[in-house]
Amino acid sequence: MKCPPWPEGQKLVHLDLKGAPPRVDYLHKLIELFSELGAEGLLVEYEDMFPYEGELQLLQGTAPPTYSRQEILSLQEFARSKSMEVVPLVQTFGHMEFVLKHRPLWGLRELPHCVGTLNPHREEGLKLVMEMLRQVVELHPGVNTLHIGADEVYMLGEGEESKLWLASPGRTVEQLFLSHVTKVAKAIKEAWPHLSIIMWDDMMRGMNQDTLKESGLVGLVQPMLWDYTPDLDVDSTVSLLEKYHTAGLSQLWAASSFKGSTCVHTCVPGTMRHVENHEQWLKVAAALPAGVHLRGIALTGWQRYDHLSVLCELMPVALPSLGACLQTLVQGQLSAEAQIRVCERLGVSSVEVTDLDRTPEEDSLFPGRRLAELIVDLNHLLNSDDIRFFENSMAVRGWFSPYQRQRRAVTPLITMTIHSQASAYLTTLQQKVEVVKEEMVRLYPECTAQEWIEEHVSPVMAPLQRITEDVLACVKEMVP
C-alpha cells in the first residue's frame, strides 16, 4: 500500500564507526553516494575512532588507529560540499563500553561487571562526559546538532551508590535516569547554547507524561524514537510520539534501519526486511495527528550492536538496501519505478544484494561493489549444507565418529575419501578468502579484514581442518 512520501525533515544516514571504519577515500565515496541516493545528513558515531587528546587519549583505538584530526575535518568539509549536515553522536550514559573498558576508568561504572553503564553519581563521570563532548564539538566547527545517545542504560539503579540514592522515599530509577541526562543536557546548553540535542528515547518509553514534564528535559532535548523491525506497531508508535509531544517534548525524530539490526552476526542483509521497516515508519508519519511533527529520520546502519560485540554486515553489501530504503521514503513505497531508480544508480539488476549480476570491476557503479559480490559468493559457500554440516554427513557419522577417532578404528579407504573431500573444501574456501581479503583491505584496515575472516570463515574451516588432521593420524596407524 502506497503511503505519502516522508514529510519534510532531514533524512540522516548513520555512520557507525565503532567497527570496520572505512578508509578515508572510501568514506568520501560513500558520502557522495549517500547524497545521490537522497540523504541530507550524516549521524556519525565515532566511539574510539575519534582522536581524543590529553587525559582522554587512552580512549583512542589502536587497531585500527583513530582518524586524524585532519581526516575528521575533511569528512565534514566533503559532506558540506554535498549539502549534508554532520551530526556527531557521543554516548553519555549507556553504551560507554569503549570508555569504561579502560582500567583507569573502571571505578566510573555503575556495576563492576556492567562495562557500558556510567555511574551517574560521580562528579568525575560528568566531567569525563563533558570533556569528551567538548573535544568532539570543537573539532566540528559550525555544528548545530549533537546526539548524546543515552539508550539501553543497563543495570541502572543496581550499583551501591544508586541503591543508597533510591532508598530515599519517592525516588525511582526513572528519576535517576532523567537526573543524569538533564545534567548533561543543561551543561551542553550552558557551554553551547546554539546546539540542538537529540537523544534516544527507549529509556523514557515507560514513563508517564507527568514524569516527563517534571524531568527538566522539556525544551532541552529532542527524543529520537527507534524501531528497526519490519512489523513495527504503528498504533503504539503513534501513541508514544503523542505522549512525548503532550509532555512538552515536541521536537521529535524517528530512527529506522537499513542494516545491522537483523541479528548480531548477520553477514549479508535482506533488503526487503529493511524496506518493510521503512514502510511502517511511513504509516506512522501519515497517522500522526495535526500538530505532531517529525523533524527527520535517521537510517541506522549498525556495525556492531555494541563496542564489544562482533561485526554486523559491512557497508558494501548494505548499499542496495540503503538505496531501496531511501527511495521508499522519497516515493512512499518501493514501487517498480523506485526500484529501477536504485538499480540504475547502483548499476545493479536487483535491490537484493544476493541477486547481483557479476560484472567486470571497471563496470561497477557503486563503491565497494566488487567486495559485496565476493562476500555474497563466499557467504553462500560458507552456509552450504555440504560444508556447514560436513561433520554430520553419512560418511563422517558412519565411519569417522568421535568414538572411532579416539580408538583409531577406521576404514582407511573411506576415511581417505573423507579427507579428500574436506581438503577440497578447505582449498576452495582458502582461495576465496584470499580474494576477499585482498579486496577488503582496499576499503578497510587490515585488522577489519582479519576480524571478519576470523568471525565468519575460521569457525567453518576449523572443523574441516581437524578432520583432515585426524584422518591422517588414524590412517597412519592402520596402513603400513
- The answer to whether residues 195 and 141 touch, using CB atoms and an 8 Å cutoff, is no
| Distance in angstroms (rounded) separating the CA atoms of residues 471 and 456 | 25
Distances (CA, A) of 93 to 126, 181, 203, 345: 9, 8, 11, 40
Amino acid at 417: T
- Could you give the C-alpha distances from 315 to 194, 257, 370, in angstroms and in order? 33, 13, 12
> Do 226 and 255 meet the contact criterion of CB atoms below 8 Å apart?
yes
CA angle 68, 300, 102 (to 5 degrees): 50
Cα(199)–Cα(201) distance, integer angstroms: 6
What secondary structure letter does DSSP report for 222?
Answer: E
Distance CA 156, CA 179 (A): 12
Cβ–Cβ < 8 Å for 324, 339: yes
Q: Is the peptide bond before 141 cis (omega within 30 degrees of 0)?
A: no
Would residue 446 show up in a list of annotated catalytic residues for this protein? no
Distances (CA, A) of 63 to 215, 239, 265, 436: 40, 44, 20, 20
Pull the grid cell for residue 179: 537526573
Catalytic residue among 40, 71, 131, 152: 152
19 vs 401: CA distance, rounded Å: 39
CB 74 within 8 A of CB 25: no
Residue 9 — left, alpha, or beta (φ > 0 → left; ψ -120 to 50 → alpha)?
left
Helix (H) or strand (E) holding 340: helix 336-346
Are the C-beta atoms of residues 415 and 399 closer than 8 Å to each other? yes
Cell of 197: 540535542
Annotated active-site positions, please?
152
